Structure formats: structure tokens, C-alpha cells
Amino acid sequence: MDEQNPKPTGSFMQSLVRNNRGIRADRAEAISEDAELIYKRAIEDLRVGIRKMERDRENMLDLSPENSMSLKLASDFDAASFVAKDVELGVKIRNERIKLEIVERQFKDLFGKEA
């Protein structure tokens, strides 16, 4: 501050004398940015997880163990295990899609935009 201009001039001094509204706005912005980043990360993690499970499910249909010219023998194929794993993956994919839909809807409600 100079003697003719009693107003604060440096950013440190300005931050010390700013009003309550400015402080609350800065805090609100910081909290909102943090929450938005975490929501975006959660959405992306859910999308990646769903893609991985879908690929795993598709890969189960590949019955050629060594190369594209060979096939798994019928006697080596465990149908019960195949069905159990397929159903398990299907349920996990469905549950993760539901969770993703909820998180995306909440993100839009909270932040006013698509993730």
C-alpha cells in the first residue's frame, strides 16, 4: 500500500482483506472442482471396467486354444463352467451399467453438463 492509496495492492494483502462472499465463493469453487474431477474419474473407471468385462465375455466364445485353425475338443469343454461364468459376467456388466447410469445422471444434476 502506498500513502496516497490506502487500498491493498498485492495479492497476499488482497486475500487477507477480501470479504466473506469472496472467501465463500473461492471455497465453493475449490470444492466443486474436486468433486467434479472425482465424479469424472468414477465415470471413466466404470466405463473401462464395463469394456473389460464385455471383452472377457466375448473372449469366452473363442474356443481355439492355440491358433485360429484349432478348436477345443468337445470333451475338454466344460459347459456348466462356461454358463456360470457367462451369467456371472452378464450380471456384473448389467450392475455396472446401472451404476454408470446413476453416476452420469447425478453428475449432470450436480454440474449441469454431460461427463
Residue with cell 451369467: 87
The DSSP symbol for 69 reads T
Indicate the range of 26-30, 84-88, 103-107 predicted with least confidence.
26-30
Indicate the average pLDDT of the chain. 86
Query: Which of 15-19, 20-24, 27-31 has maximum average pLDDT?
Result: 27-31
d(C-alpha 47, C-alpha 50), whole Å: 5
